Amino acid sequence: MSDDAAGFRALLSGARVGQFVSVGAVGAGVDTATTLVLQEGLAVFPEIAKLIGAECAIVMMFLINEHWTFAEEGATGRGAFLRRLLTSNVVRSGGLAVQLVVYAYVRRLPVSISLAGVDLWTVLPILIAIGSAVIVNYVAESLFTWRVHR
């Protein structure tokens, strides 16, 4: 089998995709909770709150992915770990940019979805923004951070 085919198969690993999505779900919870606490509880400007929430989630997800999803990938040692952490932040900046643009647009839509007196539209734009970046993040993390294609 060619190196390209093996790399493509590694990228499409069902188990790895499942782990990445699971970690992403935890990250979405961290992102959402942090954003809501900052925005609603501390009156931080919504886009700033979202940026802080996303960065908290990025660091947490990197640590879980490093030790679970991609535990068999990459070189060992402090330098390699720091390179992956930096690379993860850089490659996820594309996903974060997608999130911020989607969030800024979606939260301004004239929509109100209430359930038991709670306006769910406060939370849904956050989740829509996160979901929009999942594929970009998975491919970029796989190829550039943990280099599964090598």
Token pair recorded at residue 125: 């734009």
- Candidates 63, 54, 97; CA nearest to 81 is 63
Return the C-alpha torsion angle 84, 8, 129, 83, nearest 10. Answer: 10
Mean pLDDT of 113-130: 88
Domain ranges of the chain: 3-145
pLDDT tens profile 24-68: 899 989 999 999 999 999 999 999 998 899 889 989 999 999 999
pTM reported for the whole predicted model: 0.72
